[in-house]
Structure 1
Amino acid sequence: MRPPIHYSSPEEALSVVQSGHRVFIHGSAQTPSFMMKHLAAQAHRLRNVELVNITVYGDMVVDKPEYAGHFSINSLFVSASIRDAVREGRADYVPVFLSEIPELFKQGILPIDVAIVHVSVPDQHGYCSLGVSVDIARSAVNTARFVIAQVNPNVPRTHGDGMVHVTRFSAMVYCEDPLHESVYGGAISEQELKIGEYIATLIDDRSTLQLGIGSIPDAVLKCLYNHKDLGIHTEMFSDGVIDLVEADIINNKYKHIHPNKSVTGFALGTQRLYNYVNDNPAFAFLDIDYVNETSVIRRNPKMVAINSAVEIDLTGQVCADSIGTYQYSGIGGQMDFMRGAALSEGGKPIIALPAQTNKGISRIVPFLKQGAGVVTTRGHIHYVVTEYGVAYLYGKNLRQRAHALINIAHPDDREALDRACHERFKVFPGW
């Protein structure tokens, strides 16, 4: 029998938050915006409360200048909601592999006093689901001293590691807010679709896919309708997988681990996606320290990791988290999967990016911008794809890499890159 459920007011629930506490905030589609507004209203009694999170959506409220001294954000992945706060010095960023964030909680490096999570309504046994964002939230719930649940009938019940019994919650607050949504497939450019076509030629039947965030992964999915028997083992996915699942192109038949299931840490998309994964046993939402563990990823043969970048230099260094010193995102799981795919039998780690920015600036550069972060090192790089083709860098020396990358740069940028290549390596790319 389900235990009796008592819902608290937001003010009553948040009374456990005290000055000096570290508070975990659930992320992505599950960002608990309702509770964030009420947490901001508690500012008058709180000082130096540190908020820890990965990607968050919606208005965080507490990141505004007037809350300085009351709240600070220590983000493990910078998203649009808090970029200005980081840029202006009102928030901080921790560079860390997504797979290792749970260890920060478990080892007490970032001990969590309070976790605020956004969950489904309890089932007949008293279990709530972490919905479409299990990722690092599972470990936060396991290790926090207090857990506050924002309970919402709009949160889907997903299968996997996301079940939390109501007895784990210090307080439960009811709301009926819609989940945060994000649309990727509708914004695919001609260049991104061409990139998708090139990547599709690299994907063999019976491959297992990891898809990073953004429109390029959705462009790839649109180009896979002639493929057969694909699998999913990824840190996240969006709406693009649905049609391929329904067409039996993604069926997970030939995965070595978790066959017949699409494995992920979180999902982010539209309400169609949230409805689709609701109580759907074909999807397993698992703890990110398992999903993104390299030794797990490599166990699936033909593992294909598809990730994007801000820029790449002529030696193969990949910046994916910043624009110079401007912190745009985070390390995330790119290296977890780039390495896992490289170690997989027949695996292919792929970096995909348009040859130029929207302002016509080359993304293939002689040197990364001053202050840029290297996410994927030149020792880990294999395939690089732009709308002008595929460069295979693994096993190539620096001069050969420069030649291969210049060949897939925008034609308008190749002459300048040729000169930079000659200046650095004392030879023109056609050597």
Structure 2
Amino acid sequence: MSTWVEEYRRKLTTPDKAVGVVKSGDWIIYSYAANTLPVLDLALAKRTPELRDIQLLAGVSMRPHAVVKADPRGEHFTWDCVHFSVIDRKYYEMGRAFYVPLRYSEVPRYILENISHIDVFMVQVSPMDQHGNFNFGPTISHYPAAAEKAKIVIVEVNEDMPIAHGGYGNYIHVSEVDYIVEGGHTGMPQIPTTPITDVDRKIAQYVLDDLRDGDCIQLGIGAMPNALGQMIAASDLKDLGVHTEMLVDSYVDMWEAGRISGRKKQIDKGRMVYTFAGGTQKLYDFIHNNPQVAGYPVDYTNDRFIASRNDNLVSINNALEIDLSGQVCSETIGPRMISGAGGQLDFVDAAYNSKGGRSFICMESTFTDAEGKRHSRIRPLLTEGAVVTDTRPMVQYVATEYGMANLKGGTTWQRAERLIGLAHPDFREDLIKEAEKLKIWRRSNK
């Protein structure tokens, strides 16, 4: 019997005993993205009445949490969230979730330098291998930093978790773990593909027309990037590379269609680089034991100086609104949180600083509110309370269903003119009038 198996057995415990180490006032790094904690979450929820002021650092939730259901008023657990998914947004609407403003690339540093203490790190992992390693599966992100900082590390073993190759930082050794809980076969969260509209396809086409063989692709989350991935798969592009934050199903589509080789990359040649993944089972099956896929901590994937070493890095992301000066909001509707900053600014910056790189912010020109009224996403000024995700000097290409424009190097009047040209025709005259009031419209403009 190996030393590691003996150590595993010594540290193996029940879910209830593992969460018994949690005490009131603790800070816990909790579930993130596809690495959920269905077993430990239920066990911790049972302790709700006896605990107070527990801070749970989490994000991009892909399954509901028992601790939130057990504490609907937030009297015991506080949900501190680095990026909102649909589930986290529901917690926010309940008054249960609070956002942590950040640049995703800096999260490991925040953990190591800016959070005074981490008492417990709970993480879902794959079964231990013969060398004593637990694999983090589809989520590497900030986990190595969390393991380094935490006083106590508890792993929940999921028999269904894919084994993800790295990079580095994609595993934790049994010697670094304090408690092991066997979760059995708890599956992986399935994130269905967002339905694609004709408008999504039209916007995606503008970006597709700009893509070239050998580009290195980063796609954000949402229907439009997914539409672009499908359209790339159906195109005749070749030798594309991947250096991204989130790996999603559309990358599998592109790879299966022969569009991705990674041969033209300057770093991690031939490998699809990411920091976390979420999608359907085909994505998890693709990741499993696949040496062409490399998971890294987020301070590698999203670092401007590292990502931009790849030539022709192309960043494609969504936004909620943009003002006539080029300020982009991708996080809120007014003061209401929708998602978060995530790594959008990281990749907007990295793509522009890549040799031959381009950055695209894509959005439908309008949205319809709950009362059925249509509004323009291109506005004179950002909605009151809206936050700036991408500052105006950072933004390069903007695309709607009415076209695409490059804002880099543009004067305020040129930016206004180009953005109004991307707005829905019903709103253009009003936008011109507002631009005149803001003194960013030349009289010679039409």
Aligned positions of 1:30-429 closer than 5 A: 30-64=35-69, 65-66=71-72, 68-160=74-166, 161-175=169-183, 176-184=185-193, 186-224=194-232, 225-359=235-369, 360-425=374-439, 426-427=441-442
SS of residue paired to 2:382: coil
**Alpha-carbon contact 1:131-1:155 (below 8 Å) kept:** yes
**Alpha-carbon contact 1:63-1:91 (below 8 Å) kept:** no
Distance 2:423 2:443 in 1: 15
Could you state the TM-score of these two structures normalised by the residue count of structure 1? 0.96
Q: Give the Å deviation of 1:250.
A: 0.7
Q: Which amino acid aligns with 1:421?
A: A
**Alpha-carbon contact 1:23-1:116 (below 8 Å) kept:** yes
Q: Which amino acid aligns with 1:343?
A: N
SS of residue paired to 2:75: coil
1:18 corresponds in structure 2 to 23
Distance 2:117 2:397 in 1: 38
Q: Give the Å deviation of 1:138.
A: 2.4
Q: Which amino acid aligns with 2:265?
A: K
Per-residue deviation, residues 241-295 of structure 1 (Å, max 9, x unmatched): 1122123211100100100100000111001110111000000000001111110
RMSD of aligned Cα (Å): 1.6
SS of residue paired to 2:375: coil
Q: Give the Å deviation of 1:310.
A: 0.6
**Alpha-carbon contact 1:152-1:174 (below 8 Å) kept:** yes
Q: Give the Å deviation of 1:110.
A: 4.7
Distance 1:114 1:34 in 2: 16
Distance 1:102 1:37 in 2: 27
**Alpha-carbon contact 1:263-1:285 (below 8 Å) kept:** yes
SS of residue paired to 1:63: helix
**Alpha-carbon contact 1:421-1:427 (below 8 Å) kept:** no
Distance 1:27 1:102 in 2: 14
Q: Give the Å deviation of 1:68.
A: 2.5
- Which has the higher mean CA deviation after the structures are superposed, 404-413 or 285-294? 404-413
- Which has the higher mean CA deviation after the structures are superposed, 416-425 or 251-260? 416-425
Distance 1:83 1:270 in 2: 21
SS of residue paired to 1:40: helix
Per-residue deviation, residues 297-327 of structure 1 (Å, max 9, x unmatched): 1101111111110100111000001111101
Unaligned runs of 5+ in 2: none
SS of residue paired to 1:223: helix
**Alpha-carbon contact 2:104-2:302 (below 8 Å) kept:** yes
Q: Which amino acid aligns with 1:222?
A: Q
- Which has the higher mean CA deviation after the structures are superposed, 91-100 or 311-320? 91-100
**Alpha-carbon contact 1:212-1:237 (below 8 Å) kept:** no
Q: Give the Å deviation of 1:89.
A: 3.8
Moved over 6 A (4+): none
Q: Give the Å deviation of 1:387.
A: 1.3
Distance 2:73 2:134 in 1: 32
- Which has the higher mean CA deviation after the structures are superposed, 202-211 or 80-89? 80-89
Q: Give the Å deviation of 1:88.
A: 4.8
Q: Give the Å deviation of 1:75.
A: 1.4
Per-residue deviation, residues 344-368 of structure 1 (Å, max 9, x unmatched): 1111011011111244321111111
Distance 2:163 2:106 in 1: 26
SS of residue paired to 1:295: helix
Distance 1:67 1:9 in 2: 28
Q: Give the Å deviation of 1:223.
A: 2.0
Distance 2:407 2:443 in 1: 18
**Alpha-carbon contact 2:72-2:96 (below 8 Å) kept:** no
**Alpha-carbon contact 1:132-1:158 (below 8 Å) kept:** yes
SS of residue paired to 2:268: coil
**Alpha-carbon contact 1:422-1:429 (below 8 Å) kept:** no
Q: Which amino acid aligns with 1:313?
A: D
Could you state the TM-score of these two structures normalised by the residue count of structure 2? 0.93
Q: Give the Å deviation of 1:177.
A: 1.2
Distance 2:367 2:126 in 1: 40
**Alpha-carbon contact 1:28-1:56 (below 8 Å) kept:** yes
